[in-house]
Amino acid sequence: MKIHEYQARDLLASYGIPVPAGRMIEKIDDAHTVYKQVTQEAGLSLENGLAVVKAQVHAGGRGKAGFVKLVRSPQEAEDAARFMLSNKMVSVQTGPEGLEVKKLLIAAGVEIAHEYYLAITTDRETRRNTLIASAEGGVEIEKVAAEKPEAILKQPIHPLMGLQPHEARRIAFELGMKGKQVGQAVKIMLALARLFVDKDCSLAEINPLIVTPANESAPDGNVLAIDAKFNFDDNGLSRHKDIQALFDPAEENPQELKAHRFGLSYIKLDGNIGCLVNGAGLAMATMDTIKHHGGEPANFLDVGGSASEEAVTEAFSIILSDQNVNGVLVNIFGGIMDCEVIAKGVVNAARNYKNSDGSTGFKVPLVVRLEGNNSQKGRALLESASDNLPTLQAATDLNDGARKVVAAVG
Ligand code: GDP
Ligand code: MN
């Protein structure tokens, strides 16, 4: 599960990591008031203090897309808010169709002397959570990782001992931090490492972590987080009601949400062959076999080992609601799963499916492979429903099924 930046900032603050004052808004009209609130909290001018307006979406690359704007008056804050709430954001992470923006963060702006990158994630190779840091943080971090891997520092974290102060200090020095910056950065790294474990994160990222320019009260500047991103392990969420409460359904694919409610694992993909399969391993093998025969799967869909007739019906309606789907492969290896239940679900879905001309039944090519528990009854049921399944082709095995569906969609 992902959360928004404004939520991530609150989480950082609750672990003592300094972040500039900020508030989330959903209405253009609130931009004026909130600009004044955050500049006041930060001790800046309420008329021309620096603030930043930022789109709150679960995708990065906002800066380069024009959806992070520095503003210097209530009016500029309102103009930026109007732009972001009425235009779709297209960034390297959104795809060309872009994302609608429904929430904004207005935060007190800060002067930046230097931008760093700081993150923790699990390194599968060493099987350790690993602190990752770079002195070349900011909006170009992907480029740095690709072209200058030596500029990315790594510190594996001991699974029982956690991140040690001396390890964090070494990273701070290697980043080139000086004087009071070191102690501040160490505190932030240790807090982030604690947060990562406490909340079952799979990614905790601060980019950029910044140092502000030196001034009289802070001769080495101050170290602050001004953007953060978190991913949480879904399997750990039941332990964290506070994190669950941050879930924003508006940021999820509506079909994926619906599938989740019926206990189906569904992930939309870019191809045109819908797949309905029982078991995650079989689903992956099915996708591979479709690709092997030159086709492209439109989705990953695992109905699980004990799907109800209702869930199978729902699964079909989800697959067919995807405009890109022009063929479907059902691949069931019945163990606990009863093939007759699958067949009933397929027939129900076909009977309920309304085509644009008002007729019912499946118009797109449908290839079904049923094997195992009660497969004969299942096949017989499908054959008896040919009125609603005029395109049905039976397959003898997965390879045969994949070949037939690829040929049928052309
Ligand atoms: P992202 O592009 O989605 O990662 O959004 P960020 O929040 O990281 O902002 C992108 C860039 O905008 C940062 O790397 C900074 O250079 C700049 N930026 C963001 N907030 C501030 C701020 O308060 N002051 C200044 N001077 N620049 C900022
Ligand atoms: Mn960022």
**Residue-wise pLDDT tens for the chain (410 aa)?**
999 999 999 999 999 999 999 999 999 999 999 999 999 999 999 999 999 999 999 998 999 999 999 999 999 999 999 999 999 999 988 888 899 999 999 999 999 999 999 999 999 999 999 999 999 999 889 899 999 999 999 999 999 999 999 999 999 999 999 999 999 999 999 999 999 999 999 999 999 999 999 999 999 999 999 999 999 999 999 999 999 999 999 998 888 889 988 989 999 999 999 999 999 999 999 999 999 999 999 999 999 877 888 899 899 989 988 999 999 999 999 888 899 999 999 999 999 888 888 888 999 999 999 999 999 999 999 999 999 999 999 999 999 999 999 999 98
Rounded Cα gap, residues 346 and 315, in angstroms: 9
Contacts of 141 (CB under 8 A, 6+ apart): 117, 134, 207
Rounded Cα gap, residues 330 and 277, in angstroms: 6
| CB of 44 sitting under 6 A from ligand 1 | no
Q: What is the whole-number distance in angstroms between the Cα of residue 214 and the centre of ligand 1?
A: 19
Q: Within 13 Å, how many C-alpha atoms sit on residue 171's CB side?
A: 29
Whether 255 and 322 have beta carbons less than 8 Å apart is answered as yes
| CB of 309 sitting under 6 A from ligand 1 | no
Q: Which of 303, 366, 316, 377 has the alpha carbon at shortest distance from 345?
A: 316
Whether 389 and 347 have beta carbons less than 8 Å apart is answered as yes
Nearest residue (by CA) to ligand 1, atom 23, is 109
Q: Nearest ligand, CA of residue 55?
A: 1
Q: Which of 4, 9, 112, 211 to mutate to test the pocket of ligand 1 (most atoms within 8 A of CB)?
A: 112
Q: Nearest ligand, CA of residue 60?
A: 1
Atom of ligand 1 nearest to the CA of 109: 23
| CB of 221 sitting under 6 A from ligand 1 | no
Nearest residue (by CA) to ligand 1, atom 26, is 111
| CB of 227 sitting under 6 A from ligand 1 | yes
Q: What is the pLDDT of residue 94?
A: 86
6 has catalytic annotation: no
Q: Nearest ligand, CA of residue 20?
A: 1
Token reading at 98: 């872009």
Choosing from 205, 309, 314, 340, which is the catalytic residue?
205
Tokens 């199978």 map to which residue?
312
Q: What is the pLDDT of residue 167?
A: 98
Nearest residue (by CA) to ligand 1, atom 2, is 63
Cα dist. 250→2, 122, 246 in Å?
12, 28, 12
| CB of 60 sitting under 6 A from ligand 1 | yes
| CB of 66 sitting under 6 A from ligand 1 | no
Query: With helix as H, strand as E and coil as C, how does the chain read?
Result: CECCHHHHHHHHHHCCCCCCCEEEECCHHHHHHHHHHHHHHCCCCCCCCCEEEEECCCCCCHHHHCCEEEECCHHHHHHHHHHHHHCCECCCCCCCCCECCCCEEEEECCCCCEEEEEEEEEECCCCEEEEEEECCCCCCHHHHHHHCHHHEEEEEEECCCECCHHHHHHHHHHCCCCCHHHHHHHHHHHHHHHHHHHCCEEEEEEEEEEECCCCCCCCCCCEEECCEEEEECHHHHHHCHHHHCCCCHHHCCHHHHHHHHCCCEEEECCCCEEEEECCHHHHHHHHHHHHHCCCCECEEEECCCCCCHHHHHHHHHHHHCCCCCCEEEEEEEECCCCHHHHHHHHHHHHHHCECCCCCECCCCCEEEEEEECCHHHHHHHHHHCCCCCCCEEECCCHHHHHHHHHHHHC
The full set of domains in the chain, from first to last, is: 21-108 (3.30.1490.20), 114-244 (3.30.470.20), 254-409 (3.40.50.261)
Q: Is 263 left (phi over 0), alpha (psi -120 to 50) or beta?
A: left
pTM (2 decimals)? Answer: 0.84
Q: What is the whole-number distance in angstroms between the Cα of residue 116 and the centre of ligand 2?
A: 10
Rounded Cα gap, residues 175 and 164, in angstroms: 17
Q: What is the whole-number distance in angstroms between the Cα of residue 54 and the centre of ligand 2?
A: 11
117 has catalytic annotation: yes
Q: What is the whole-number distance in angstroms between the Cα of residue 255 and the centre of ligand 2?
A: 29
Rounded Cα gap, residues 375 and 367, in angstroms: 15
Rounded Cα gap, residues 131 and 135, in angstroms: 14
Angle, in degrees to the nearest 10, between helices 339-352 and 375-384 = 20
Q: What is the pLDDT of residue 305?
A: 79
Rounded Cα gap, residues 260 and 254, in angstroms: 10
Q: Nearest ligand, CA of residue 56?
A: 1
Token reading at 88: 């779709």
Choosing from 117, 167, 309, 314, which is the catalytic residue?
117
Residue type, 266: Y
Residue 218 dihedral angles phi and psi, to the nearest 5°: -135, 85
| CB of 38 sitting under 6 A from ligand 1 | no
Q: What is the whole-number distance in angstroms between the Cα of residue 141 and the centre of ligand 2?
A: 9
Q: What is the whole-number distance in angstroms between the Cα of residue 27 and the centre of ligand 2?
A: 23
